[in-house]
Amino acid sequence: SAVISQKPSRDICQRGTSLTIQCQVDSQVTMMFWYRQQPGQSLTLIATANQGSEATYESGFVIDKFPISRPNLTFSTLTVSNMSPEDSSIYLCSVAGLGTEAFFGQGTRLTVV
């Protein structure tokens, strides 16, 4: 299993600003994932973050809007840039291995006003 800590747990931000979300895992993992859960919706994968390489973004998500860092095997950050009210969501960090369950952080509840 893995224990994932996300910071901040929630934030209220002004439109046009950026927020960086941190994700810390208690063990070394190869792949980390960032998800978005819009109000009343399911989880949508934003990108996969591998240590030492560029993140891989899913369709509809771009690096300029959601830059990701992965400086080592236990840490990653997701930045939500130039925010608008449509970015109000829960953002979740996750780790998973091949053929195993995914573990999730508690999420960051973002409200953009």
Partner 1 sequence: AQSVTQLDSQVPVFEEAPVELRCNYSSSVSVYLFWYVQYPNQGLQLLLKYLSGSTLVKGINGFEAEFNKSQTSFHLRKPSVHISDTAEYFCAASWGYKLSFGAGTTVTVRA
Give CA–CA dist 72/4, Å, rounded.
Answer: 15
Biggest alpha carbon distance in the chain? 40
Q: How far does Cα 41 stand from its chain's mean position?
A: 16
Q: Does 53 bind partner 1 (CB under 8 A)?
A: no
Q: Does 13 bind partner 1 (CB under 8 A)?
A: no
Q: Does 45 bind partner 1 (CB under 8 A)?
A: yes
Considering only residues 68 to 97 of the shown chain, the ones binding partner 1 according to CB under 8 A are: 92, 94, 96-97
Binds partner 1 (CB under 8 A): choice among 53, 86, 98, 113 = 98
Give CA–CA dist 53/47, Å, rounded.
Answer: 13
Residues that bind partner 1 (CB under 8 A): 31, 33, 41-45, 48, 92, 94, 96-102, 104-107
